[in-house]
């Protein structure tokens, strides 16, 4: 056993020594501190008027070597070995997509990488096997996503465009961006709980309140997303200043053949890292359930979102309400805020939106009751001008 272990160690050492030796002699390959291998190759930059170096990365020495070989072949087959220039018509979109996904994996959140990879592998890869980067046009968006939902069509457009931008930036080539995708479907106002439904729901939540009912109430009080609620820690609550801090989120991600895994990450965007003031009612509720554990709704790990969704469905049945999506609580919070005079800028920050326009387009849809009240106020105003109620003498 010792002899086998020694031989394995010796072979591994020799392999590493050979790789490092090759990396030091003419191939411009090195092993980085993060464990990845980097290979550099020259290209000509027109703007600077000189040769510059670009890099490829892989998890092994041989992987980098193969990628460098691809780059050299590209330069050679385009006749650009003298200048280092590459034409978009000689770059396969599929090759560029693989490089872009590797870059996303290194520099973006794991949830972002999984989302982009899923969209590409499921809806794009098989339809563009041997297409050049220069051949990608707006027609491809319709070809690839014409049968998909509005939301998925936007995702396909986003992925296609980001791959093209990556190619343009990395190789210094001119690749026109796809025309911005515009929806042909009129956006409907978000669905919210009606006033009657809210009354039934709150009544059920206040009866035999447990930790899951508290989570639903807290969503109605703050507009937190499902993942943000499940990842909430007691250290995120400033009881003295009555502030809730959103610092992380949790979601279950598909890992392909490996199944799914519960992942805790930074919030959805930088704007999602925010502070939300808590009402006295919310503070009292939290103090009632305060315990010496890390997570408010879990123990020493985040609460599984599917568990909270399951209990939410049970609560709806208890309140004799039809099945609803958990996210409707966030919509209801937002609509209630608007109807009670909250300014859009404050609401936008509490929701963690990057732009007030998102809040305006999504949530500022006054109800019929609100519109009727406005017109009743207008009628009273006209009556005051005339000194009598409008319609009094009709």
Region 209-220: mean pLDDT is 95
Instruction: Determine what percent of the chain is predicted with pLDDT higher than 70.
Output: 75
Tokens coding 373? 């009240």
Going by C-alpha positions, the residue among 125, 111, 181, 113 that lies closest to residue 152 is: 181
- Residue range 374-380: mean pLDDT, rounded: 82
From residue 182, alpha-carbon distances to 116, 154, 186, 344 in Å are 20, 9, 11, 25
Residue scoring higher pLDDT (251 or 268) = 251
Instruction: Please tell me the predicted confidence (pLDDT) of residue 90.
Output: 66
Hey, what are 193's tokens?
């709980």
Looking at every residue in the chain, the average pLDDT score rounds to 80
Task: State both tokens at 146.
Answer: 């014409």
Mean pLDDT for 369-382 is 79
**At CA 367, angle to CA 365 and CA 372, rounded to 5?**
125
Task: Identify the CATH class of 90-186.
Answer: mainly alpha
pTM: 0.65
- 5 pLDDT more than 50: no
> Under 8 Å CB-to-CB from 353, ≥6 apart: which residues?
271, 359
pLDDT at 1: 46
Nearest to 212 by CA among 100, 90, 97, 297: 297
> Could you tell me which of 271, 223, 224, 274 has the C-alpha nearest to residue 247?
274
Strands (E) in the chain, as ranges, are 29-31, 37-45, 50-58, 237-238, 243-246, 249-254, 260-265, 274-277
Contact between 70 and 95 under an 8 Å Cβ cutoff? The reply is: yes
CATH topology of domain 195-369: hpI Integrase; Chain A (1.10.443)
* Mean pLDDT calculated for residue range 233-241: 96
Residue 221 has a pLDDT of 95
Least confident interval from 11-15, 168-172, 199-203, 281-285 = 11-15
DSSP conformation class of 192: -
Instruction: Return the structure tokens found at 384.
Output: 């005051």
CA of 149: how far to CAs of 45, 84, 119, 373, in Å? 41, 42, 13, 37
Q: Where in the chain is the domain with CATH 1.10.443.10?
A: 195-369
Taking only the tens place, the pLDDT of each residue in 148-187 is 777 788 888 888 888 888 887 777 766 666 766 666 666 6
CATH 1.10.150.130 positions along the chain are: 90-186
Asked whether residue 17 carries a pLDDT value surpassing 70, the answer given is no
Tens digits of per-residue pLDDT, 283-327? 999 999 998 899 999 888 999 999 999 999 999 999 999 999 999
The pair phi, psi for residue 234, each rounded to 5°, is -65, -30
Whole-angstrom Cα distance, residue 308 to residue 314?
10
pLDDT band at 367 (very low <50, low <70, confident <90, very high): low
DSSP label at 373?
H
CA distance 202 to 185: 34
Buried b (16+ CB within 10 A) or exposed e, 94-121: bebbebbbbebeeeebbbebbbbbebbe
Instruction: State pLDDT tens for residues 80-119.
Output: 444 444 556 667 788 888 889 988 888 888 888 888 998 8
Give the whole-angstrom CA distance, residue 335 versus residue 328. 10
Euclidean distance between CA atoms 111 and 339, whole angstroms: 34
Share of the chain above pLDDT 90, in %: 31
What is the pLDDT, as a whole number, of residue 326? 95
- Binning pLDDT at 50, 70 and 90, where does residue 217 land? very high
Please give the structure tokens belonging to residue 28.
Answer: 């411009």
Q: Which segment of 12-16, 108-112, 270-274, 342-346 scores lowest on mean pLDDT?
A: 12-16
In whole angstroms, what is the distance from residue 232 CA to residue 304 CA?
A: 12
pLDDT given at position 319: 96
Structure tokens at 135: 């051949």
């Amino acid at each position: 056993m010792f002899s086998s272990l020694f031989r394995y160690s010796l072979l591994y050492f020799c392999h590493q020594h050979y790789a490092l030796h090759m990396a030091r002699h003419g191939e411009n390959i090195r092993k980085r501190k993060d464990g990845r291998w980097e290979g550099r190759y020259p290209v000509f930059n027109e703007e600077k008027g000189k040769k510059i170096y670009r890099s490829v990365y892989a998890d092994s020495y041989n992987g980098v070597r193969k990628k460098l070989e691809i780059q050299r072949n590209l330069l050679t087959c385009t006749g650009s070995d003298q200048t280092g220039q590459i034409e978009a018509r000689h770059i396969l979109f599929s090759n560029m997509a693989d490089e872009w996904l590797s870059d996303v994996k290194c520099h973006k959140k794991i949830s972002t990488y999984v989302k982009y990879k899923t969209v590409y592998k499921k809806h794009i890869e098989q339809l563009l096997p041997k297409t050049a980067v220069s051949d990608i046009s707006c027609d491809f968006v319709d070809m690839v996503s014409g049968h998909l939902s509005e939301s998925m069509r936007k995702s396909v457009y986003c992925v296609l465009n980001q791959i093209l931008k990556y190619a343009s930036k990395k190789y210094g080539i001119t690749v026109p961006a796809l025309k911005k995708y515009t929806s042909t479907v009129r956006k409907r106002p978000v669905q919210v709980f009606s006033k009657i439904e809210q009354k039934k729901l709150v009544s059920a939540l206040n009866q035999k309140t447990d930790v899951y009912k508290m989570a639903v109430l807290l969503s109605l009080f703050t507009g937190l997303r499902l993942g943000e609620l499940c990842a909430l820690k007691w250290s995120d609550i400033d009881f003295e200043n009555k502030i809730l801090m959103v610092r992380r989120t949790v979601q279950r991600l598909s890992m392909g053949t490996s199944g799914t895994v519960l992942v805790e990450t930074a919030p959805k965007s930088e704007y999602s890292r925010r502070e939300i003031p808590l009402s006295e009612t919310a503070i009292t509720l939290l103090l009632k359930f305060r315990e010496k554990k890390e997570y408010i709704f879990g123990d020493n790990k985040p609460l599984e979102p599917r568990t909270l969704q399951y209990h939410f469905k049970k609560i709806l049945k208890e309140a004799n309400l039809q099945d609803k999506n958990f996210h409707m609580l966030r919509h209801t919070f937002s609509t209630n805020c608007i109807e009670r005079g909250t300014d859009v800028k404050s609401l936008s920050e509490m929701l963690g939106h990057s732009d007030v326009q998102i809040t305006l387009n999504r949530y500022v849809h006054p109800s019929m009751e609100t519109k009727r009240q406005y017109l009743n106020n207008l009628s009273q105003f006209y009556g005051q001008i005339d000194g009598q109620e409008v319609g009094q003498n009709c």
